[in-house]
Amino acid sequence: MLDHDILIIGAGLAGMRAALSAKELGADVAVVSKVHPVRSHSSAAQGGINAALTDRGDDWRDHAYDTIKGSDFLGDQDAIALMCEEAGSEVIAMEHMGAIFNRDEEGRLGTRAFGGQREARTFFVADFTGQALLHVLYEQILKAGALVYEEWFVLSLIVRDGKCGGAVMMDIRSGKIEVVRAKAVILATGGLGRVFEPSTNAMICTGDGMSLGYRAGASLMDMEMVQYHPTTLKGSGVLISEAARGEGAYLLNSENDRFMLKYAPEFKELASRDVVSRCEQTEINEGRGLDGCVLLDLRHLGEKYISERLSQIRELAMDFANVDMVKEPVPIMPGMHYQMGGVKASVDGETSVPGLYAAGEVACVSVHGGNRLGANSLLDTLVFGRRSGVHAAEMVKSTQHLNVDESAADDDKNNIQKLLANGKNESFGQIRLDMGTAMKEHFGVFRDENSMREGIEKIESVKKRAEDVYVTDKGSTFNTNLLFTLELGFMLECAESIAVSAADRTESRGAHTRTDLPDRDDENWLKHILVSQNKDGGHDLSYKDVVITDWEPVVRQY
Partner 1 sequence: MEVKFNVRRYDPESTDTVAHFQEYQMDMDASSTVLDGLIRIREEIDGTLSLRCSCRSAICGSCAVKVNGEAGLACNTKIVDSLSENGNTITVEPAGNLPVIKDLVVDFQPFWEKIRAVEPWLQPEGEEPETEYLAPDEDMLHLAGVVSCILCGACVSDCTVMEVDSNFLGPAALAKSYRFVGDPRDDSAQQRFKTLNESGGVWDCTRCMKCVEVCPKGVAPMDRIMALREQVMESGYTNTNGARHANEFTNSVKHSGWLDEKKLVIKSFGIFNIKAMIGLIPLVIRSQRAGKVPPIFHKSIPGVENVRRIFEKVETKK
Ligand X SMILES: Cc1cc2nc3c(=O)[nH]c(=O)nc-3n(C[C@H](O)[C@H](O)[C@H](O)COP(=O)(O)OP(=O)(O)OC[C@H]3O[C@@H](n4cnc5c(N)ncnc54)[C@H](O)[C@@H]3O)c2cc1C
Contacting residues toward partner 1, per CB under 8 A: 35-36, 38-41, 43-44, 53, 55, 92, 95-98, 100-110, 125-126, 128, 131-132, 135, 139-140, 142-143, 173, 202-204, 236, 238-239, 308, 312, 315-316, 319-320, 322, 427-430, 471-473, 475-481
Pairing of strands 2-9, 29-33: parallel
* Closest CB to ligand X among residues 51, 294: 51
For residues 229 and 239, what is the distance between their CA atoms, to the nearest angstrom?
8
Distance of closest approach, residue 88 Cβ to ligand X, in angstroms: 15
* Closest CB to ligand X among residues 313, 456: 313
Question: Looking at beta carbons, which residue is closest to ligand X?
Answer: 12
Q: Is the peptide bond before 198 cis (omega within 30 degrees of 0)?
A: yes
Which residue numbers are catalytic? 273
| 3-state helix, strand and coil shares in percent for the chain, rounded to the nearest 5 | 40, 20, 40
Distance of closest approach, residue 545 Cβ to ligand X, in angstroms: 26
Distance of closest approach, residue 308 Cβ to partner 1, in angstroms: 7
Pairing of strands 29-33, 539-545: unpaired
Tell me the sheet residues that pair with 199.
Answer: 336
361 binds, among ligand X, partner 1, none (CB under 5 to 8 A by kind): ligand X
308 binds, among partner 1, ligand X, none (CB under 5 to 8 A by kind): partner 1
Distance of closest approach, residue 383 Cβ to ligand X, in angstroms: 11
For residues 110 and 93, what is the distance between their CA atoms, to the nearest angstrom?
16
- Between helix 77-97 and helix 377-397 the angle, nearest 10°, is 90
Cβ-contact 296, 214 below 8 angstroms: no
Q: If you compute the radius of gyration of the chain from its CA atoms, what whole number of angstroms results?
A: 22
* Closest CB to partner 1 among residues 173, 527: 173
* Closest CB to partner 1 among residues 78, 426: 426
475 binds, among ligand X, partner 1, none (CB under 5 to 8 A by kind): partner 1
* Dihedral sign (CA 298, 46, 366, 168): positive
Cβ-contact 459, 498 below 8 angstroms: no
153 binds, among ligand X, partner 1, none (CB under 5 to 8 A by kind): ligand X
For residues 545 and 417, what is the distance between their CA atoms, to the nearest angstrom?
44
Distance of closest approach, residue 515 Cβ to ligand X, in angstroms: 27
Helix (H, G, I), strand (E, B) or coil at 338: strand
* Closest CB to partner 1 among residues 475, 518: 475
Burial class (CB in 10 A: 0-12, 13-18, 19+), 491: buried
Pairing of strands 122-123, 2-9: unpaired
* Dihedral sign (CA 257, 261, 267, 271): negative
3 binds, among ligand X, partner 1, none (CB under 5 to 8 A by kind): none
Look up residue 372 and give its DSSP letter. P
* Closest CB to partner 1 among residues 29, 365: 29
For residues 100 and 432, what is the distance between their CA atoms, to the nearest angstrom?
39
Kindly list the residues in this chain that would bind ligand X in the complex (CB under 6 A).
9-15, 32-35, 40-42, 44-49, 129-130, 153-154, 188-191, 200-201, 204, 208-209, 239, 241, 337-338, 360-362, 374-378, 381
Distance of closest approach, residue 374 Cβ to ligand X, in angstroms: 6
352 binds, among partner 1, ligand X, none (CB under 5 to 8 A by kind): none
* Closest CB to partner 1 among residues 126, 158: 126
- In 160-285, where does DSSP find H-type helix? 208-215, 243-246, 260-263, 273-285
Distance of closest approach, residue 131 Cβ to partner 1, in angstroms: 6
14 binds, among ligand X, partner 1, none (CB under 5 to 8 A by kind): ligand X
